[in-house]
Amino acid sequence: MSESETSDRDVRRTICEYGRQLLADDLTTGTGGNLSARVGEDRIAISPSGVPYEDIEPTDVPVVRTDGTVLEGDIEPSSELPMHLAVYEARPDVGGVVHTHSPYATTFASLGEPIPASHYLLAFAGSEVPVTRYETHATPEIGEAAVDALGEEVSATLLRNHGVLTADASLEDAYTVAQMVEFCARIHHQARAVGDPEVLPDEEMDRLAEKLDAYGQ
């Protein structure tokens, strides 16, 4: 087995594992959401369309060229493939993308409100989590909206009236960002119910991001 084949197999297995984790961590329900990871320079692996996460096997996970051509897998790629491809094209630094319907963060997406830095762990995503303009799901336009909101450095955005998208150096990192976005959305929601949350300044969030990057090194 070639190194490329081994890499494909490992990444497809990882997609399965994180798909099941989406349900375990209450970041989505049913077959909602999707995730992907780079496989080399011109290919990605992405969760298949409409298959319950607990039923997905590595061989079910499509491997797709960055032009959308399916190379491996007998099941159609996620309908949000155009959104994932748009992010990879715009952000060469991104190695993994996670799209969730996590309840607290999606509440803010439905309000059309960004999530501010009322908790320091939002630094995993940036100084705030911005909101995209509204676009219909599973269209190239929603990918363009996500790319515009992410810019060059932000690791998460709320898809207006839809859900959450995170993008980072690896699938593991993007998944961690998705967890932190949901946690911070919940804290901000609860804090607002009690009073007026304090928001950390951008300069402090920049310092925190540097500390988190170095954590565990």
Which domains are delineated in the chain? Answer: 3-214 (3.40.225.10)
Catalytically annotated residue among 80, 128, 135, 182: 80
CA gap 112, 132 in Å, rounded: 8
pLDDT value at 28 more than 60:
yes
How would residue 213 be classed by pLDDT, with cut points 50, 70 and 90? confident
Looking up tokens 């961590």, which residue turns up? 25
| Residue 80 among the catalytic residues | yes
Helix (H) or strand (E) holding 64: strand 63-65
Burial of 184 (0-12, 13-18, 19+ CB in 10 A): buried
Residue 5: per-residue pLDDT: 55
pLDDT value at 215 more than 70:
no
Helix (H) or strand (E) holding 12: helix 3-24
How would residue 34 be classed by pLDDT, with cut points 50, 70 and 90? very high
pLDDT value at 1 more than 90:
no
Length of the chain: 217
Q: Of the candidates 70, 67, 65, 57, which has an alpha carbon nearest to the alpha carbon of residue 9? A: 57
Residues ≥6 apart with Cβ < 8 Å to 102: 26, 27, 28, 163, 164, 178, 181, 182, 185
* CB neighbourhood size of 212 (10 A): 15
How would residue 4 be classed by pLDDT, with cut points 50, 70 and 90? low
Q: Per-residue b/e over 110-146, b at no fewer than 16 CB within 10 Å?
A: eeeebbbbbbbebbbbbbbbbbbeebeeeeebbbbbb
Cα Rg, the chain, nearest whole Å = 17
**Mean pLDDT calculated for residue range 116-121:** 98
Helix (H) or strand (E) holding 43: strand 43-46
Q: Dmax over Cα atoms in the chain, in whole Å?
A: 59
Residues ≥6 apart with Cβ < 8 Å to 173: 95, 96, 155
- 143-158 pLDDT, tens digit per residue, is 999 999 999 999 999 9
